[in-house]
Amino acid sequence: MRIAFQGEPGAYSEAAALRFSDHADLLPCEAFEDVFAAVASGKATHGILPVENSIGGTIHRNYDLLLENDLPIVGEVTLPITHNLMALPGTSLKEVRRILSHPQALAQCERFLRGMSGVSVEATYDTAGSAKLVKEHKLTDAAAIASERAAKVFGLEILRAEIQDYSDNITRFLLISRTGETGDHVDKTSVVFSLPNEPGSLFKALSVFALRDIDLTKIESRPIRGRPWEYLFYVDIPIGRHDLRCARALVHLAEFARSMRTLGSYPSWKSRESAVARQGA
């Protein structure tokens, strides 16, 4: 298994990939688009993408890319996130005039950053990439927000540990591949659909799940490009698409949805953890 991820070594996506498979071969990519390209071309068997954080919310770009690419979701990982402020060895906190990190990490450390007077905040392409910039450019006035592993990889010193706003900071990642998952272990399905702009259309769409006692674990709307004020709806349901209830709900939804696509049916992280625990028992 070779998993492509966005970022430098030490990125949280790398940690999520290793949490999914601790013996996987890893392929760093500069951008999320490159992760999809690596999987589509066969350079990697899988790609891993952050899609939502319990503090910062949704990473919208990756929802758009899931729709733009025909690569099914085959798994998920949840990863506790701990942010650390790091700088070149010997740098003191009072010397820091710039803080670099990915926009999501900056949003997750907002309270800490508000307490840093006289310091500018700069968004970068990656948390670990920020640590790399500080190291390679010898930025004596700058610090990065990244993982503990990133500090070790790039030889930086942690000035403040665990600076995220909330301790229960968790990011959910999705795994993509060229072929979908099958089997009894599949217990989660992600679907995207659009609806006619008519009264009650969303109510009708959601009722196909409610009538069959199917829960919705997530619903997210995204604008349809080129069609102002019209939206796509991304839905996660905790049931495999080969389950009869799920199959019937999706057939029912297709009757009045303008468009519909199943992005993947896959094992939830909870079910994967349980399976691993049973194997180790």
DSSP annotation of 258: S
Give the Cα separation of 2 and 14 in Å (integer). 12
Instruction: Return the C-alpha torsion angle 131, 61, 239, 249, nearest 10.
Output: 180
Does 182 fall in a domain? no
pLDDT at 279 (0 to 100): 54
257 shares a domain with 210: yes
225 shares a domain with 249: yes
Give the pair of three-digit tokens for residue 171: 């990011």
3-state secondary structure of 87: strand
55 shares a domain with 75: yes
28 shares a domain with 66: yes
Last residue of a domain, one of 146, 177, 208: 177
146 shares a domain with 90: yes
34 shares a domain with 93: no
Does 252 fall in a domain? yes
Last residue of a domain, one of 122, 151, 177: 177
Does 198 fall in a domain? yes
pLDDT by residue for the chain (281 residues), tens only, comes to 999 999 999 999 999 999 999 999 999 999 999 999 999 999 999 999 999 999 888 999 999 999 999 999 999 999 999 999 999 999 999 999 999 999 999 999 999 999 998 899 999 989 999 999 999 999 999 999 999 999 999 999 999 999 999 988 999 999 999 998 777 789 999 999 999 989 999 999 999 999 999 999 999 999 998 898 899 999 999 999 889 999 999 999 999 999 999 999 999 998 766 555 555 54
Give strand pairing partners of 180.
none
Give the Cα separation of 91 and 107 in Å (integer). 24
Other C-beta atoms within 10 Å of 30: how many? Answer: 13
192 shares a domain with 270: yes
> Residue 54 is part of a domain; what is its CATH number?
3.40.190.10
- Residues involved in catalysis: 171, 173
pLDDT at 181 (0 to 100): 78
112 shares a domain with 43: no
> Residue 221 is part of a domain; what is its CATH number?
3.30.70.260
Q: Are 92 and 109 in contact (CB under 8 A)?
A: no
Q: Residue 103 belongs to what domain range?
A: 84-160
pLDDT at 56 (0 to 100): 83
Q: What is the pTM of this model?
A: 0.88
242 shares a domain with 201: yes
67 shares a domain with 10: yes
Q: How many domains does the chain have?
A: 3
